Amino acid sequence: MVETWSFGVHGRRPVFEGDIVTETGNRREIMRHVYVDIWIGELWNKGDPAGSRILSENFFDHRPIDDFPNTKQGHVDMAIDWHQAFPDLTFDIEEVLVDGDKLVARYNSSGTHTGVLSGIAATGRPVSLSGIDIMRFDADNRLAEWWHNEDMFGLMQQITE
């Protein structure tokens, strides 16, 4: 069964305390919480490496950016690098679908290019980026694999032209 969430309406929330999940809802709610509130909310929107607590030790990025390995640490380093390049970048999650151990999300993000990204000095320009994430969760409700597609060409045009 696939469930869709509409944001702005939140029911019971699971709590992710360190390495322990306290389940106050079902697995779908936990997966949504891990993705939206911790992975996006903490690691990507805030640049807080504590958000990496929800990544499996064997986390694998199926489409890594050249400067960062496709590992857990490579992913954390990439998120922090992006946050320094776009400190006000926020990801607005528009839709989340969950089925089995997979979560699919569609997002739009926006921010300002005020730091170096891939050797490109800060431009001060506003940017936007849209994309889709597919996440596989392991048995412990941690993010184990990430497939993603975002408009990197469009982003690079915004900061280089």
Give the whole-angstrom CA distance, residue 20 versus residue 17. 5
For the chain, the structural domain boundaries read 27-160
Note the pLDDT of residue 10: 38
Q: 36 vs 3, which has greater pLDDT?
A: 36
Q: Which two tokens stand for residue 122?
A: 């800060």
Choose among 86, 94, 7: nearest CA to 47.
Answer: 86
Instruction: Write down the H helix ranges in the chain.
Output: 27-33, 72-85, 152-160
Q: Which two tokens stand for residue 105?
A: 């999300």
Q: How confident is the model at residue 51 (pLDDT cuts 50, 70, 90)?
A: very high
Residue-wise pLDDT for 98-120, tens only, equals 999 999 999 999 999 999 998 89
Give the whole-angstrom CA distance, residue 24 versus residue 14. 5
Q: CA torsion sign, 126 to 82 to 157 to 153?
A: negative
Indicate whether 69 pLDDT > 90: no
Indicate whether 37 pLDDT > 70: yes
- Rounded to whole angstroms, what are the CA distances from 1 to 20, 28, 41, 97? 26, 10, 26, 10
Q: What is the pTM of this model?
A: 0.81
- Rounded to whole angstroms, what are the CA distances from 110 to 80, 137, 138? 16, 27, 30
CATH topology of domain 27-160: Nuclear Transport Factor 2; Chain: A, (3.10.450)
Choose among 2, 30, 23: nearest CA to 95.
Answer: 2
Q: What radius of gyration do the chain's Cα atoms show?
A: 16
Q: Which range, of 4-13, 126-135, 144-153, averages the lowest pLDDT? A: 4-13
Residue-wise pLDDT for 8-22, tens only, equals 333 444 444 444 444
Note the pLDDT of residue 25: 57
Mean pLDDT confidence for 57-66:
87
Indicate whether 95 pLDDT > 90: yes
Q: How confident is the model at residue 63 (pLDDT cuts 50, 70, 90)?
A: confident
Note the pLDDT of residue 19: 40
In the chain, the percentage of residues whose pLDDT exceeds 70 is: 84
